[in-house]
Amino acid sequence: MEGVAVTGMGIISAIGRDVEEAHFSLKIGKDGISYPDILSTIHQNLPVGEIKLSNSELSEILNLPEDHAYTRAALLGVYAIRELLENSGMERFPGDTGFISGTSVGGIDKTEEHFYNYKENVADRKYIQAQHPGFTTEKIAEYFGINGMVTTISTACSSSANAIMMGAQMIESGKLKRVIVGGSDCLTKFTLNGFNSLKILSENKSRPFDNEREGLNLGEAAGYLLLEAEDQMAGENILGRVVGYGNANDAFHQTASSENGEGAFNAISRALKKAGLSASEVDYINTHGTGTRNNDLSESVALKRVFGDHIPEFSSTKGYTGHTLGAAGAIEAIFSLLSIQNGKIFPNLNFSNKMAETNLAPVTEIKSKHIETVLSNSLGFGGNCTSLIFQ
């Protein structure tokens, strides 16, 4: 079989602290949406997909010294990669392991916590450098002693999907034998206020693809996959394969998608071409489906353009986790692999009415089905659209 092997994965999100917990929540339709407890914000009315572990609890679980300088995104990233390492069956990552991590927020959480104290409080100054998005990646790499190629991708909500694409490309070109790919983003006041200022946050649980959808819920998560060249595997089991990927710019607006879904249409078409698959061979689509008026309509139009009258069964899993920004592509890659492994389509939560413009209905009840091929979309601000295909 063609493609790049996935030999490990790890995830932490609002629906669970490992792959098994996430899978359980997906199966029983249990979302992780709540009001903010850990993020201190005046916007108590805005639902979020928050991980109910404070930074000090996370630090304790990870055995970090008290004076560490890990950002929340770094803590979540380390947490998820510990699971990945465990289920890959390896003791530690070999020296030639690469690391490509996507993030949109980086260490902004630490800056907003400590910015006004830097003058007086010398101890907090260790966080000044944490603002740099690469700092979060370097901290994670340092924890696991990874000193191969380490880099950070920042392309908004498609960051970690692009990390997967870049990793697969590096393996196929023979540049790397194995690489950890994915992303980590945490909730911050910065993003909550920003998305709120764009008026695209819902005061209720998000309702992807529903005619009355009123916006997204922000979430936080970290998700990582271990990709390996099949002839040089160190991991024990192949959990799935990345067989296709495509990226395209929508070239329309900084933060809105085009009416004809041009970017998504091109990304999906390129991913299919790369995989050597026809549209009819896709068994299930894990959509971007954020729950905003704009995204869900644009993405639906793109699906109609690619698949015509035969759109495969699809759902958005953002109703479970919230929109986890730079981490979304990676956690949804893991959900896609779970769909294949278990022969299940996880339902699109909170949907009741089809969109008037497109008349499309996602899968709303858990469904058993033999699934070989899954398409996963990640569409980001800046028009950055990425589609991945897993088998």
Partner 1 sequence: MSIELSIINSVTIRDSKVYKNGQLIFKSEPDLVISKFLKGIYRDQNLKYPKFFKMDSLSKFGYLGVEILTNANIQDKETALIFANSASSLETDEAYARTMAEFPSPSLFVYTLPNIMLGEISIRHQLRSENIFLVSEAFDPALFIDYSRGLFQQEKADKVLCGWVNLHNNEYDVFLWEIARSGGIDFNEEELKKLYLPTHE
Active-site positions read 157, 288, 323
Q: Angle CA(23)–CA(24)–CA(26) in degrees, nearest 5?
A: 65
Candidates 34, 59, 147, 196: give the one binding partner 1 (CB under 8 A). Answer: 196
209, 362 contact by CB (below 8 A): yes
C-beta neighbour count of 173 within 10 angstroms:
8
Q: How far is the CB of 354 from partner 1 (least distance, A)?
A: 29
Q: Which is nearer to partner 1, 26 or 46 (CB)?
A: 46
User: Which of 294, 315, 281, 312 is CA-nearest to residue 250?
Assistant: 294
Candidates 24, 35, 118, 190: give the one binding partner 1 (CB under 8 A). Answer: 190
Beta bridge partner(s), residue 184? 222
Contact range with partner 1 by CB under 8 A, out of 100-108, 203-211, 287-295, 348-356 = 100-108
Contact range with partner 1 by CB under 8 A, out of 9-17, 165-173, 228-236, 370-378 = 165-173
Q: Which is nearer to partner 1, 219 or 319 (CB)?
A: 219
Residue 3 is a binding residue for partner 1 (CB under 8 A): no
Residue 197 is a binding residue for partner 1 (CB under 8 A): yes
Residue 55 is a binding residue for partner 1 (CB under 8 A): no
Separation of alpha carbons 179 and 347, rounded Å: 31
Residue 252 is a binding residue for partner 1 (CB under 8 A): yes
Q: How far is the CB of 266 from partner 1 (least distance, A)?
A: 5
Separation of alpha carbons 249 and 179, rounded Å: 25
Residue 219 is a binding residue for partner 1 (CB under 8 A): no
Residue 255 is a binding residue for partner 1 (CB under 8 A): yes
**Type of residue numbered 10:** G
Site size toward partner 1, by CB under 8 A: 53
Separation of alpha carbons 108 and 239, rounded Å: 34
299, 379 contact by CB (below 8 A): yes
Residue 47 is a binding residue for partner 1 (CB under 8 A): no
User: Which of 305, 304, 302, 330 is CA-nearest to residue 184?
Assistant: 330
Q: Angle CA(140)–CA(142)–CA(143) in degrees, nearest 5?
A: 65
DSSP 95-133: TT-EEEEE-SSTTHHHHHHHGGGTTT-GGGGGGGGGGSH
Q: How far is the CB of 338 from partner 1 (least distance, A)?
A: 27
Q: How far is the CB of 176 from partner 1 (least distance, A)?
A: 9
Residue 253 is a binding residue for partner 1 (CB under 8 A): yes
Residue 170 is a binding residue for partner 1 (CB under 8 A): yes
Residue 264 is a binding residue for partner 1 (CB under 8 A): no
Residue 104 is a binding residue for partner 1 (CB under 8 A): yes
Separation of alpha carbons 55 and 45, rounded Å: 23
Residue 315 is a binding residue for partner 1 (CB under 8 A): no
- Residue 11 neighbours by CB under 8 Å, 6+ apart: 18, 19, 22, 80, 83, 221, 222, 223, 224, 330, 331, 334
Q: Which is nearer to partner 1, 153 or 331 (CB)?
A: 153
Separation of alpha carbons 149 and 236, rounded Å: 23
Exposed / middle / buried, residue 305 (Cβ in 10 Å: 0-12, 13-18, 19+): middle
Q: Which is nearer to partner 1, 254 or 368 (CB)?
A: 254
**Beta strands 48-49 and 313-315: pairing type?**
unpaired
Identify residues 271-310 at the interface with partner 1 (CB under 8 A): 274
Residue 369 is a binding residue for partner 1 (CB under 8 A): no
Residue 45 is a binding residue for partner 1 (CB under 8 A): no
Q: Which is nearer to partner 1, 32 or 106 (CB)?
A: 106
Instruction: Convert residues 118-157 into a mask of x (bound to partner 1 by CB under 8 A) and - (unbound).
Output: -------------xxxx---x------------xxxxxx-
Phi, psi of 186 (to 5 degrees): -115, 165
Binding residues (CB under 8 A) for partner 1: these are: 104, 106, 108, 111-112, 115, 131-134, 138, 151-156, 162, 166, 169-170, 172-173, 175, 189-190, 193-199, 246-255, 262-263, 266, 270, 274, 380-384
